[in-house]
Amino acid sequence: MQNSFYINYGKRVFDFITSLMGLIFLAPLMFFLAFLIKIYDKGPVFYYSRRLGQNFKPFTLLKFRTMIVNAEMIGPSVTKDCDKRITRIGRFLRKTKLDEIPQLWNVLKGDMSLVGPRPEVEKYIFYYRDDYEDILTIKPGITDYATIKFRNEEEILNQFEDVEKSYIEKVLPEKIKLYKKYLNEVGFLTDLKIIFKTLWRIIFK
């Protein structure tokens, strides 16, 4: 891992300032999306999920709710594009990645970074514990190389009958390779490149 000054100091400053500005700027949109979720889907606006952060420290990941209440009780933690647990509003939020906006709060608090390996469901981490010993030396992030490559992950998983088994055996190993690629390249310019690539994919693809 390179650029230790940025990792130890600059990355947190960049995260704090950018996430604070993002929350302020996007507040009207967040209120509007919360209103839509409450009106059309009823139930809670937010989805809270336990994840493991830097050095395996647990934290609560925040998202806009995109699935029916208690969806995790009736199906796997990963989903296909055609998963019937996804709500009508939720499908739109997932396609546009707007469900991820509340994670700016996780970044502001210091649980996450803007750029870093995606925070994984805890049970899946332990399938690749040795790999995550390296990966979780840094904070998980909202976006990274794997987020860009697997922009349409749910569509990819449509081709498999056992979605959870396929995620563990086929998709997650590829993500881990990309997480390690980021570990070797982490730096301010790398983070900017990944952020701009992510926005480009969301807006134009």
**What are the tens digits of pLDDT across the range 110-138?**
999 999 999 999 999 999 999 999 999 99
Confidence (pLDDT) at 174: 96
Q: Does residue 149 have a pLDDT over 60?
A: yes
Confidence (pLDDT) at 23: 97
CA torsion sign for 158, 79, 129, 175 is: positive
With CA atoms as reference, report the closest residue to 168 among 129, 131, 127, 133.
127
Confidence (pLDDT) at 1: 55
Q: Does residue 152 have a pLDDT over 90?
A: no
Q: Are strands 46-52 and 58-64 parallel, antiparallel or unpaired?
A: antiparallel
CB neighbourhood size of 77 (10 A)? 15
78-98: buried (b, 16+ CB within 10 Å) or exposed (e) per residue? Answer: bbbeebebbbebbbebbeebb
- Residues 11 and 189: their CA atoms lie apart, in Å, by 11
